[in-house]
Amino acid sequence: MAGIWLIGAYGVVSTTTMTGLAAIKAGAAPRVHAGIVTEDPECDFIRSKFPLEKIALGGHEVRFLDRNAFQASEKIWEENVHFKRSFLDAGKNELSKIKAKKGTAINCGPGVDALGDLETLESEGLTLSEIVGRIMKDYESFKNKNGEVCVINAASTEPHIQLTEEHQSLDTFEGLIDENKTEKVTASMLYAYASLKQKIPYGNFTPSHGATVPAIRELAVKQQIPYMGDDGKTGETLMKTTLAPMFKMRSLKILGWAGFNILGDDDGVTLSKDANKESKIESKDKAISSSIGYSPFSITEIKYFPPLVDHKVAWDYISYRGFLGTKMALQFTWHGIDSILAAPVAIDIARSLMFAKSRGEFGAIHELAFFFKHPIDDIIGNTFLQYELYMNWIKEGKKVPLEKMQAKIVK
């Protein structure tokens, strides 16, 4: 058995992941050409080690804790109608048995506060070490029941807080927890810390801090557990990091890239608050420079547009220069359904991290950069090179020295 534990269990990415997996297991939904890279024959090692049928589900939430995963998924489905209703019904048996556990929303910013009444561990009056203890217990019982499991952070994007000296080493970070310095930590740090303490791999599907804090990275190495992030690459950024290399290969200079995104649903509510939005823009912005090695003028804008619900529209305008210095432009419009694009990537990340652990690998698994907008340690953004790195890693266990994988950013 194996398992995926989703932080933000009743959000649209998580419920779509859970419904999709449950429907596939019930034999009702297709698994090939469904966006799951690890179902492709090239990934046979992963596919056979962690078959979709054997992946159990669970997670943490801070809202709607009276619901089970079926009720949460149904509510989201009614707003989005983003797949056939029969898939939800096919998964009902499994989903009805899953109930999210109460999580923490410490320092998740105004974007998460705006989601409505939150039910959190801190509102029970627990200290940081008690909160970590509760989260670890939830992870532990999931692991004991299901064997090899992975935590995926798919919670709302939180703002970045200023990292200080205490975040630089495990010792001092644990001091922050012991002394209950709530202003110095965020929810994603606590979930990541607890996961690695329990020797569970951790994938950060969001731009939140997660495991990127040096102290938590130190813990991963100490515990010999793999992790990777940040922020799932699913839509506009996938386009950017796929198209930008084309300009580079043809020796065309990108002069500027403007991207305007509109989206609805709760992710849109969260990202409509500046503090939460900043983390997302930072991770989208870096994608171009890490694909081509220089930073053209760029605009990245994200606006909340409720009628779209989980549909996302991005307009991109790329100004570039060619022969005789002549300027030209490319424009595209992306119409995606965020969670439909995201769910298979969340599954791929979880399976790949469990696979990395089974091979004894630990620390940041840079070969998974292919799945992230802003891969940890500024790994090259070019989708083609990332795919090659990933495939060589799966098939031959090939590791490339970190310096060779890093993007050379020329200002």
Ligand X SMILES: NC(=O)c1ccc[n+]([C@@H]2O[C@H](COP(=O)([O-])OP(=O)(O)OC[C@H]3O[C@@H](n4cnc5c(N)ncnc54)[C@H](O)[C@@H]3O)[C@@H](O)[C@H]2O)c1
Q: Which residues bind ligand X (CB under 6 A)?
A: 7-8, 10-13, 60-63, 103-105, 108, 112, 115, 154-157, 187, 205-206, 231-232, 234-235, 265-267, 270, 280, 338-339, 341-342
Residue 287 to residue 290: CA distance in whole angstroms:
5
Nearest-approach distance from CB 37 to ligand X, in angstroms = 15
Nearest-approach distance from CB 252 to ligand X, in angstroms = 28
Nearest-approach distance from CB 231 to ligand X, in angstroms = 5
Residue 191 to residue 60: CA distance in whole angstroms:
9
Nearest-approach distance from CB 393 to ligand X, in angstroms = 22
CB closer to ligand X out of 187 and 365 = 187
Q: Give the tokens for residue 213.
A: 């804090």
CB closer to ligand X out of 195 and 362 = 195
Nearest-approach distance from CB 75 to ligand X, in angstroms = 10
CB closer to ligand X out of 108 and 379 = 108
CB closer to ligand X out of 38 and 104 = 104
Identify the sign of the CA torsion 144, 146, 149, 154: negative
CB closer to ligand X out of 90 and 108 = 108
Nearest-approach distance from CB 266 to ligand X, in angstroms = 3
In angstroms, how far is the first alpha carbon of the chain from the final one?
Answer: 48
CB closer to ligand X out of 83 and 205 = 205
Q: Which residues, 6 or more positions from 294, have their beta carbon under 8 angstroms from its beta carbon? A: 409, 410, 411
CA contacts within 13 A on the Cβ side of 280: 25
Nearest-approach distance from CB 171 to ligand X, in angstroms = 25
CB closer to ligand X out of 10 and 362 = 10
Q: Give the tokens for residue 132.
A: 């970590």
Calculate the CA 152 to chain-centre distance: 7
Residue 101 to residue 120: CA distance in whole angstroms:
10
Q: Give the tokens for residue 117.
A: 């009444």
Nearest-approach distance from CB 404 to ligand X, in angstroms = 26
Chain position whose Cβ is nearest to ligand X = 11
CB closer to ligand X out of 132 and 254 = 132
